[in-house]
Structure 1
Amino acid sequence: MTKEVAVLGGGCFWCLEAVYQEIKGVEHVESGYTGGHVDNPSYEQVCEGTTGHAEVVALTFDNEKISYRELLEIFFTIHDPTTLNRQGNDVGTQYRSAIYYQSPQQKEVAEKVVAEMANVWDAPIVTELSAAETYYKAEDYHQNYFRQHPLQGYCAFVVAPKVAKLRKMFIDKVKATS
């Protein structure tokens, strides 16, 4: 087994966390912040949009069960990579589409996937592609948010449809439920 880490930003971290928790080969998903200039930012600071951080998820995955490329293909399916600093009603640099690569190999794969996805979307892809920066874990109450609050308004109307889309489009990659 070979473990890798992927750090992705695609709007609210609750959405990405809920989706990637369902994927075979993804062993751990953690919501956090990266890409900014403030040490140990709080959620409130990040929401103000002045720290430069993006809401992200850090995924630990077994690349013998799922590849980095496959994770990125899911990423580009469950969020809109063509809207600058926004996902739906979530607006601000903290909601930007971003891939923080951990190695030259991840950078190369990400560049290829972005180029391929440019043919899929009608508008230009604005996903930031940057080397990994200091990552900060989000507060505990943000971890496993969708699983703990599936009926909360945002979860029911924004997160749940993304999870449903994943289950429909990538059923072969979804963990079996017990």
Structure 2
Amino acid sequence: MQTFVLAGGCFWCLDAAYRALDGVESVVSGYTGGTVAQPSYELVCTGATGHAEAVKVTFDETKIPAEVILDAFFTMHDPRQLNHQGADQGTQYRSAMFYADDAQRALFETARERATQLWDAPLGTEEGTVVTTIEPLAEFYDAEDYHQDFFAKNPTQGYCLAVAVPKVNKVRASFSQYIR
């Protein structure tokens, strides 16, 4: 088993998309990359803690390769958007990968390079620059219980329908051989 901690906008979307993949054993929504111990959702939402909404994805590499987990990450959000995803604004919604060791850092760097080709900008512009940061993993704090598996518990909630469903569908289409 391997675990990656990834941030790409609202954690509800990443959680929902990863849960659709066979070989993903668990997904935990939480907060990392900040300066406040035991932050609450309300505090993280202010942007004052430095935390990102993130998911801790544990997967079985005999069922799904690490590269697929990382390529799915770059498929389910737009890594060219600095400190936001769509209408979700602030550093808590940044695109970031949090490495636990040098091996993960190398995997993340390679995946980010692949993503630059996927999200390439038109010639002569900076619009397509992948801004995903690669940061050392700090303390990861589990989000409140109501955030865990939010999409499955609230499938008709407006945000889920408008934002999460298209991301889940994009991952399902792009990685159909790995869908549960």
Q: Please state which band the TM-score falls in when normalised by the shorter chain.
A: over 0.9
5+ residue gaps in structure 1?
Answer: none
> So what's the TM-score if we normalise by structure 1?
0.95
Distance 2:30 2:55 in 1: 6
Which of 130, 135, 141 aligns to 2:140? It is: 135
Q: Hey, what does 1:159 align to over in structure 2? A: 164
- Once the two structures are overlaid, the 10-residue window that deviates more, 12-21 or 112-121, is 112-121
Question: Structure 2 unaligned runs (5+)?
Answer: 122-127
Q: Deviations over 1:113-142 (max 9, x none)?
A: 111221221211000101111000000010
CA offsets per residue over residues 92-132 of structure 1, 9 Å max, x none?
00000000012211111111111122122121100010111
The 5 A counterparts of 1:22-171 are 22-121=20-119, 122=121, 123-171=128-176
Q: Deviation of residue 83 (structure 1)?
A: 0.6
User: TM-score, structure 2 length as denominator?
Assistant: 0.94
Distance 2:57 2:108 in 1: 15
SS at match of 1:119: helix
Letter in 2 for 1:36: G
Query: What is the CA deviation profile of residues 139-176 of structure 1, one whole-angstrom value per residue up to 9, with x for unaligned ones?
Result: 0010110001010000011001111111111110111x
Identity of aligned residues (%): 49
Partners of 1:120 and 1:59 lie apart in 2 by 22
Count of aligned residue pairs for this structure pair: 173
Cα deviation code 1:23-67 (max 9, x no counterpart): 111100010000000000000000000000000000111112112
Contact 1:68 1:106 in 2 (8 A): no
Which portions of structure 1, spanning 4 or more consecutive aligned residues, are displaced by more than 6 angstroms? none
